A and B are shown apart, each in its own frame.
Chain A
């Protein structure tokens, strides 16, 4: 069974800092990996989708990388802003199944 772990569970940084969020998964046979953002009381917003054949994806200040062989993905946020404060979730789509397996999330606070 796929297991997805996100470390750290919570992170607080000053505004302007570059930061990295980590996601690890146990089964490397995946279709893709997706990073989401969730604001309190809201739904999930898709940030980046990396297909299994890709190494990274970029959108604005966000860059996500994927290393299938080691079962790791990172989400890099450049020049963080208070508006980036949210919970960030990664989710893995398996070959063997039909469901996304979610990590527990990293709760990010960016202080002005």
Chain B
């Protein structure tokens, strides 16, 4: 079972470059999420998609955009990367936003120079 798959696993960018993190889940889940994890800050929600066709901002959305491409896929885009966006990014999914168990991908480690 693949579960939640993220690509790429590692990426180094220069300030101002753009990139897209891809996420796909094979569990037929309705809700998908993007988190970032930073030392001392814990995990913080960037954006989420409660169902196909909807997206909403989380706690730290500035500098990011998302696309819920279909029920399986949810991408996170950095239009103009900044050093403050150096982090580990996690995609997650759940069957139901309110009651569902959350399943995480392995993470994407991004460094912005």
Footprint of B on A, CB under 8 Å?
A: 31-32, 34, 36, 41-46, 49, 51, 89, 91, 93, 98-100, 102-105
A31 and B101 contact, CB distance less than 8 A: no
B107 and A32 contact, CB distance less than 8 A: no
User: Could you say which of B11-19, B40-48, B64-72, B79-87 contacts chain A?
Assistant: B40-48
Name 9 A/B residue pairs within 8 A (Cβ), A-sorted. Answer: A44-B43, A45-B104, A46-B102, A49-B101, A51-B99, A98-B48, A102-B44, A103-B42, A104-B42
A42 and B45 contact, CB distance less than 8 A: no
B31's closest neighbor in chain A, by CB?
A98
Range class of the B interface residue count: 20 to 34
Instruction: Report the separation of the CA atoms of residues A89 and B43 in the bound assembly, to the nearest whole angstrom.
Output: 10
Instruction: Report the separation of the CA atoms of residues A105 and B102 in the bound assembly, to the nearest whole angstrom.
Output: 17
Complex contacts, B44 vs chain A, CB 8 Å: 102
Complex contacts, A31 vs chain B, CB 8 Å: 98-99
Closest 9 CB pairs of A and B: A43-B104, A44-B104, A99-B45, A102-B43, A43-B106, A49-B101, A102-B42, A31-B98, A43-B107
Q: How far is the CB of B33 from chain A (nearest CB, A)?
A: 8
Complex contacts, A103 vs chain B, CB 8 Å: 42
Q: Does B77 sit at the interface, judged by CB under 8 A?
A: no
Most A CB contacts (10 A, CB to CB) among B42, B44, B105 go to B42
Q: How far is the CB of B5 from chain A (nearest CB, A)?
A: 11
Q: Does B56 sit at the interface, judged by CB under 8 A?
A: yes
Instruction: Report the separation of the CA atoms of residues A51 and B98 in the bound assembly, to the nearest whole angstrom.
Output: 10
A98 and B43 contact, CB distance less than 8 A: no
Complex contacts, A89 vs chain B, CB 8 Å: 43
Q: Does B50 sit at the interface, judged by CB under 8 A?
A: yes
B105's closest neighbor in chain A, by CB?
A43
CB proximity to A under 8 Å, residues B82-113: 90, 92, 97-99, 101-107
B102 and A91 contact, CB distance less than 8 A: yes
